[in-house]
Amino acid sequence: MAAVAYVEDIVLVDRCLTGEEAAARELFRKHRARVHACLYRVLGANRDMDDLLQDAFIQVFQSLKGWRAEASLATWIDRVAVRVAYRYLSQRKNAPPTLELVDDVVAPGPSGARRASAREGVRRLYAALDALPPAARLAFALHELEGRPMAEVASLTGATVTATKLRVWRARRALTAKAAADPVLRELLAEGVR
Amino acid sequence: MSDDRNLVDRVVVEPLDDERWTAIERGVIGALRTASIERALADARPARRWVWPVLGGALAAAAAVGVILARRAPDRAIDPTGDPAGAPALAIATDATGTRIDLGRAVLTVAPDTAFALARPGGGVDVALDHGAIELAVAHREDLPPVVVHAGDVDVIDVGTVFTVERRADGAVSVSVREGEVRIERAGTSTRVVAGQRWAGGELVAIDSDRGATTGPIAQTGAVAIPIGGPNDLLSRRHVAAPPRGAAAPHGHADGHAARSGAAAGIAPPAAADPIADLRAAIAAQPIPAASDVGTTDPTAALERYRRLATDDKGAQASGGLYGMARVQSLALGQSAEALRTLGAYVKRFPDGAELEAVLWLRLRILCRGGIDDACRAAAHTYLGRFPDSDRAGLVERITVARQ
């Protein structure tokens, strides 16, 4: 099955490289959800998300010639998405946070309040992540929020596994420190370790 | 380290709605189209790979019809890439479909039933026209040798413009200048012909290449003004007798023999019978948004001021400067190639600039001047991808599906 997907990817990329617009649309639709999920988990809800997605796919198509079929196309596209996220984080270091989670109307009853609290926890998690260096945030988000193995995170970010572990550890330490003074964030993280 | 693994479930990705995905996809595909055009523009500077098959095909056609025009060959170097190599001139003849030869900084659009010899002395372009018509779009030559067309006893010399030279079977030569200017030398006298003028048998008449209307005689009267791109424009004749859609005709020869006989008879049906001519007229009729006012009507001075804005300023001033540059280069100075480069720079530097629609429209208009070809259609796709709701969208959509 994997071999079939691999061949399909090669054929699809080949079609894209010949300038076939239908192939470009097919590739876009096939991978857009995963790229979106990756950017979302790294950056949080973001008003620049549409532009970032567009930017990521433009870069994918611009550098498609460079895909050597050594890694799966999905992994290669993930790498592009990670680069886009990293550049975005690096460039907006001094800019105000762009979090834009909209507060839901809290549904009556305990479950509604719980959802609102969880939502607020996520908002505060990303606010805390905003304070981290881009590389640490990226490693933490890919490992802890996307659930990718450490080796894969290292590969995606172009770092060694040791450096990646160190970045994730530092990010966790910073979040734990933040959570000590923030009960909502503490609750989110506590639920996370349950 | 995996204590927080359950955070994966805590951060729920909020899906995007279809409308947003559609907009993103449109943006990506639009950017790809723009990029492909920029690549094509960049590739156009050196000789293109397909020039060789085109020239090869043209040579074969020449052999088939027995047209030999190599009498000027001994003293000419020839190389489509522009490098003189001491080779003889190429003898080229077109059949009923005409052809287009891209030499990098000069593009020749050859009318049906035309025969000429082409040489590249010292990187220049030397055309000896035996009969028929050729439109030449020539980028500014700077320090390159000029483009010269010999038609009988008339020499047309150009350093950066778009013009058409026709030599009829009876030997009569006419030159129509759409952009820039050319110098015509004949019997020791030199005549300057500027954009919007047509020279025929020593007489000059005014034409309005954009509106396709005669604006009146300039010098000696008595000659008939033929609007470029209009129904009587020689280069449009290849379209006038196109068979109805679906009629049997070999690929690339849609005009068939009817076009050949129409051209031979010199009869052109009304413009309404030619959808391509209609389309070109509709493109020409569309206004081009004005650029910011730089306080002068002199094109050269305006170009310099726009250039200063583009290079010294930032943001809206700079984007306005780039657009103004392209507009002056294209409309006032007839420098289409420079204008296209400037427009390419605009798209790259200001992908969301305030003048983007005007920029893409101007680019489309320039690329469609030579006819509804692949570059023209690609420009239309790019425009439509970015501005699908524009007032011009209907017209542009027609361009994307037009075939000539």
CB atoms A40 and B14 under 8 Å:
yes
Q: Which of A21, A125, A145 sits opposite B8 (nearest CB)?
A: A145
β-sheet bridge partners, residue B128: B117, B150
Chain B residue at shortest CA distance from A165: B1
Q: How far is B2 from chain A (nearest CA, A)?
A: 7
Question: pTM for the whole thing?
Answer: 0.42
CB atoms B28 and A36 under 8 Å:
no
Q: Which of B14, B27, B29 sits opposite A24 (nearest CB)?
A: B29
What structural domains does chain A harbor? Answer: 1-99 (1.10.1740.10), 102-194 (1.10.10.10)
pLDDT string in tens for chain B (404-residue length)? 444 446 777 788 888 989 899 999 988 988 887 776 656 555 544 433 443 444 455 445 444 444 333 333 333 333 333 333 334 456 666 666 667 776 766 778 887 777 877 776 656 677 888 888 888 887 765 556 678 888 877 888 876 678 888 888 778 888 888 877 788 887 777 788 888 888 887 788 777 544 443 344 433 333 333 333 333 333 333 332 233 333 333 333 333 333 333 333 333 333 345 677 778 778 888 888 888 888 887 888 888 889 888 887 778 888 899 899 999 888 888 888 888 888 888 887 788 889 999 999 998 888 888 778 877 887 887 888 788 888 888 888 888 777 66
Exposed e or buried b per residue across B75-113, where buried means at least 16 C-beta atoms within 10 angstroms of its C-beta: ebbbbbebebeeeebbbbbbbbbbbbbbbbbbbbbbbbb
Whole-number Å distance between alpha carbons of A89 and A86: 5
What is the pairing mode between strands B173-179 and B213-217?
A: unpaired
User: Which residue in A59, A66, A7 sits closest to A28, CA to CA?
Assistant: A59
Q: Which residues of B touch A145 (CB under 8 A)?
A: 7-8, 11
Which DSSP string corresponds to A89-153?
HHHTTTSPP-B-PPPPPPPSSHHHHHHHHHHHHHHHHHHHHHTS-HHHHHHHIIIIIS---HHHH
ipTM of the predicted structure? 0.86
The helix (H) or strand (E) run that includes residue B206 is strand B203-208
Which residues of chain B have a Cβ shorter than 8 Å from any chain A Cβ? 1, 3-8, 10-11, 13-14, 16, 20-21, 23-25, 27-29, 31-32, 35-36
Chain A residue at shortest CA distance from B37: A19
CB atoms A45 and B1 under 8 Å:
no
CB distance B12 to A179 below 8 Å: no
Whole-number Å distance between alpha carbons of B227 and B216: 11
CA-only gyration radius of chain A, Å: 19
Q: Which residues of A touch B8 (CB under 8 A)?
A: 144-147
Q: How many CB pairs under 8 A join A and B?
A: 82
User: Which residue in B325, B378, B335, B399 sits closest to B355, CA to CA?
Assistant: B325
